[in-house]
Structure 1
Amino acid sequence: MNRIQNKILVLTGIVLFIMAAIWLTLTYYSRQTQEQYNDILQRYLRMNEVTGASQQTITDLNNYLIRPTPEHYEQLEQSKERLRRAKYDVFALRNGDNDFDLTSYTNLIDSLLETANRSMMFQAQMDTEDSNQAFNEATRISRSISDMTLTLLDTELKTYDRFYRGIIERSTELNKLGIWLLLTITFLLLIFAYWFALSITRPVQKLTQAAKELSRGRFDQEIEVSSNDEIAFLAKMFERMRVNINNLITEIQQKAQLEHELQQNKLLLQESRYRSLQSQIHPHFLFNTLDTLSKKAYLEGAEETSDLLASVAGLLRYNLRRLDRSVTLYEEVRVLRQYMDIQSARFADRLRFVEDIDESCLYVQIPGLTLQPIVENAVIHAVEPMEDGGTIVFRIAEDGDRIRVEIADDGPGMPEDKIERVLKGSAQETEGHTTGIGIGNVVQRLRLFYGQDDIIDIESKPRSGTKVVLRLPKVRRYEADDQRTDRG
């Protein structure tokens, strides 16, 4: 993780590096120029040293010739040694421009030393005249050395004149370069400092904006901070908090929705129970009476009447059961057949009932009293008003992960507005004569039972009949959640 402290250290290091690079560059050029100046100055000083050494040698020689004491002799020898060293130093100044002149120059130095030695020798032999002539010759050579030194210095000045001018021009260019370099580095440092400030302030601004959104109750926007420092860590913790709060809100909403659905289901069941109770007239007495009539009809040989009474008793007994308990599709089909037996006895040939049932699909759970109100609605509106009666087709088949139940008739059909009201679950629509339960009630109970809205569909055209299609899940949503929870 790149901490903010590390970023500041990096910025400081870059600034120090740039300053050190500039300082080293300027120091290098300055030292190079200084060394060149020193080299030229050393050339002048070495040539001037020859002139001084030669003049000092003539002075010490004169002192020795006047007073040949050991002290004067020692001083003369030191001067001569100084002149020899100066001669050797001059050798290092040789180049293509001064080779001839420098050779003559060193020869003059040798002549001076030789003449000084000859004057000392004549002095030792007490030959004053020859000694004085040699001294005069040495003096003349010393003057020639001085003149030759001036000539060489003039040559050196002419030789290095372009160099001087180049140094001056280079110093001017270096000053200009230094100014431009300073401006460029200042501009780059400003850009880098701006970028560095943005790398810190931009994540803080994003985090601040995210905090404002959270304070407004918007927990669905993801918090993203594209950095890798303490602010990014804080943003991750913020994002984790947002996700936890959002999950908690979603869970609370789901629980509230579930409680609402359960409350609606309870109200529908109470309404269904109320409608069912309206049709009860002493149930036990009625069941006993029907059973008695069925047995009496059977004993008198009226078997068809006996079966009809048994169907009525079974149908009433099923309708009076508790509606808050689910049943299997098999039980619904069985009671539907009993209902159709009664209606077939009533309408005779006017009612034609066609079944196409896949018996392997009858294990599915379904709310009680679901199929009978739908079929009863078809009997009331598609068979009863027609002089020739009508046909009701009942199919059950497997359809992927669902069971498809179709109830179709060839009646006059349903208007679009009525279909919309039924699918919205209007409890006042199409109340059944037998159970008092309308299709609107069936729609609401199916959706609450399975926890899905796409359970029922109604297809109808004018004078082309009506088809009610139920798509029943093989596994209810809550059971599937429980199974996933158990596996997890």
Structure 2
Amino acid sequence: MKTIRNKMMMLSLIIWIIMAFIWISMSIFNQRTVEKYNGILQRYLLMNQASELSRQALTTLNGYRMSPTEENLRRYVEDDNRLLRTKLDMNKLRNPNNDMLLVNFQHMVDSQSEAMNLAVRFQRDNDDDAGAEQFDEASNISAYISETTLSLIGGEQKTYDAFYRQIIARSNEIKKMGFWALAFVSLLLLLFSYRFVSGVTRPILKLTQSARELSRGNFQNPIVVDNNDDMAFLAKTLDSMRLNIGNLFDEIQSKAQLEYDLHKHKLMLKESELKSLQSQINPHFLFNTLNMLSKEAYLSGADKTSELISSVAGMLRYNLRRMDSRVSLKDEIDVLEEYLTIQQARFGDRVRIVREIDETALEIEVPILILQPLVENAFIYAIEPSEDGGTLTLRVINETDAVVVQVRDNGPGMEPEKLGSLLSDLDPPGYKGHSTGIGIRNVMDRLRLFYGTEDIIAIDSATGGGTCITLTLPRRTKL
């Protein structure tokens, strides 16, 4: 993974390499030009040195003539030797343009040296006239040497005139090259800088927007940065934090909903217990009394009366259980039969009860008292108000994943307002009350809490079309 620090070091290295290449290239070019220019300058200096040594040798010779001492002679000999050495060094200056002129120049140096040596010899021999003549000859040759030096230097200038012009042209080219190199480096740096800055600022902007979304409570959008650097690691970390916070919020909401459901369930149970207590007057005493009356009626030969009292006692005993009890669907069907026995005796031929029960589906566990309120509701709103009574159909259907229980009547049905008040546990017009003190809404809430799902109960009712209440009871309850 490339870090931002590595990217900055890479950018600095690239800039250093480019600048070093330009500097080395220009240094090599400048060094070659300087070396060539120094070579030409050394040629000029060597030619001028030969002319100067020629005049200096005459001066020291003249000093010896004026004062013929050994010191003056030694000075003359040194200057003469240097002049001859310079003549030999001038062989380096030879080229096709100055070959003849340079040969003449060297011959003139030799001639001057010979004339000066003859003048020294005549001076020692005290031949002043011959010495003066040789000195004049050497002076004339020295003058020729000076003129020849100027000619050689002029020739050199013509020879290297193209080089001088080339130096000027190259100087202008260097200026242009420096300008274009600066422009190229600036453009390159601009592109590299833009790419580098974009590679840093774009992920930062994306992370800023994501952080703003997180601060607003939006944990749905994933945080993705395509870079392969510190920003990608930071984005992955922030996205992991987003998922953890989102899961934590979901868990908190789930726990809050569960606590709310449990609290609601407790309140509903207390309310059911209070209603049950309000409708009971010493229920155990009443239960024992009903058992005694049932036995007295049976001994007196009133079998039907004994059966009815026994049914009431069975219902009372069943209703005395706790509202959070679990029972089998068979227990619910059995206590419902006790209730139907009482209602059959009450309504006689006005009521017809149809049972379609699959016995293989009666072993599942259900909350207590979920069927009697539904059947009682059918008697209150469909059968009792009708002079002709009605038909009540009870179906238990065994399916793969659930057991379906239907309570259907052929009554007048219910209007939407009446159905709404029934579901909200408000007392609708003509309400006579349930014997259990439990309404349909209470049954719905307890079933949803018991199974942990909303799709438990469905009510299909229309004016003039009867009412059908369907319970879909899953085979697995909420843990």
- Give TM-score scaled by structure 2 length: 0.71
How far did residue 318 of structure 1 move? Answer: 1.2
Question: Where does residue 393 of structure 2 map in the other structure?
Answer: 392
- Please give the alpha-carbon distance, in whole angstroms, between the structure 2 residues aligned to 1:415 and 1:196: 70
Matching of residues 420-435 of structure 1 within 5 Å: 420-422=420-422, 425-428=424-427, 433-435=434-436
**Cα distance in 2, alignment partners of residues 394 and 386 from structure 1:** 25
Distance 1:265 1:448 in 2: 7
Match of 1:321 in 2: 321
* Structure 1 position 357 matched with structure 2 position 354: no
Per-residue CA distance 1:311-366 (angstroms, 9 max, x = gap):
332222112322133434343233234334444555458423233436367333x3
Instruction: Report the alpha carbon displacement of residue 69 of structure 1 after superposing the two structures with TM.
Output: 6.3
Contact 1:431 1:437 in 2 (8 A): no
1:105: which partner in 2? 102
1:200 Cα offset (Å): 8.2
Which position in structure 1 is the counterpart of 2:310?
310
Where in structure 2 are there 5+ consecutive unaligned residues?
A: none
Query: Relative to 1, partners in 2 of residues 1:212 and 1:387: Cα closer, same or farther, differing over 3 Å?
Result: closer
CA distance 1:160–1:314, change in 2 (3 Å): farther
Q: Deviations over 1:286-320 (max 9, x none)?
A: 43344345446666787776555433322221123
Q: Tell me the CA shift for residue 371 of structure 1.
A: 1.9
Q: Give, as a single letter, the amino acid of the residue that structure 2 aligns with 1:280.
A: Q
User: Residue 458 of structure 2: SS of its match in structure 1?
Assistant: strand
Query: Following the alignment from structure 1 to structure 2, what is the Cα–Cα distance between the partners of residues 88 and 348?
Result: 157
Whether the 8 Å contact between 1:65 and 1:120 is mirrored in structure 2 is no
- Compute the displacement of 1:120 (Å): 3.4
For 1:90 and 1:170, locate their aligned partners in 2 and report how far apart those are by CA, in whole Å.
Answer: 30
Q: Secondary structure in 2 aligned to 1:467?
A: strand
Aligned length: 467
Aligned to 2:437: 436
- Describe the superposition over 1:374-398 as per-residue Cα deviations: whole angstroms up to 9, x where unpaired: 2322344445538373241422434
Query: 1:53·1:83 contact (CA, 8 Å) conserved in 2?
Result: yes
Q: Residues 397 and 31 of structure 1: is their aligned pair in 2 closer, same or farther, counting only changes over 3 Å?
A: farther
Displacement of 1:105 after TM fit? 0.3
Partners of 1:344 and 1:89 lie apart in 2 by 150
Q: Which moved more, 1:16-25 or 1:442-451?
A: 16-25
Per the alignment, do residues 307 and 171 of structure 1 end up closer, same or farther by CA in structure 2, a change over 3 Å counting?
Answer: farther
Query: Could you say what secondary structure the match of 1:275 adopts?
Result: helix
* Distance of aligned partners of 1:464 and 1:205 in 2 relative to their CA distance in 1, 3 Å threshold: closer
Alpha-carbon distance in 2 for matches of 1:298, 1:446: 39
Indicate how the Cα distance of structure 1 residues 151 and 417 shifts in structure 2: closer, same or farther if over 3 A, else same: farther
- Aligned residue for 2:447? 446
Instruction: Assess if the C-alpha contact under 8 Å between 1:450 and 1:476 holds in 2.
Output: yes
Task: Give the SS at the match of 2:321.
Answer: coil
Instruction: Report the Cα offset of residue 263 of structure 1.
Output: 3.6
Moved more, 168-177 or 294-303: 294-303
**Counterparts in 2 of 1:346-385, with a 5 A limit?**
346-347=347-348, 350-357=351-358, 359=360, 362-364=363-365, 366-384=366-384, 385=386
**Matched residues, percent identical?**
40
- Structure 1 position 120 matched with structure 2 position 117: yes
Q: Is the 8 Å Cα contact of residues 412 and 464 (structure 1) preserved in structure 2? A: yes
- Indicate how the Cα distance of structure 1 residues 158 and 270 shifts in structure 2: closer, same or farther if over 3 A, else same: same
| Most deviating of 200-209 and 297-306 | 200-209
Do the aligned residues in 1 keep the contact of 2:223 with 2:239 (CA within 8 Å)? no
Residue aligning to 1:269: 269
Higher mean C-alpha displacement, 434-443 vs 465-474: 465-474
CA displacement at 1:253 relative to structure 2: 5.5
Change (3 A) 1:317 1:2: same
Alignment of 1:217-296 (within 5 A): 218-220=216-218, 256-295=256-295
The aligned residue for residue 485 of structure 1 is none
Q: Secondary structure of 2:98's match?
A: helix
Q: Do the aligned partners of 1:207 and 1:235 also contact (CA within 8 Å) in 2? A: no
Task: Give the C-alpha shift of residue 62 in structure 1.
Answer: 6.1
Distance 2:411 2:92 in 1: 130
* Change beyond 3 A, Cα 1:404–1:21: farther
Q: Could you say what secondary structure the match of 1:268 adopts?
A: helix
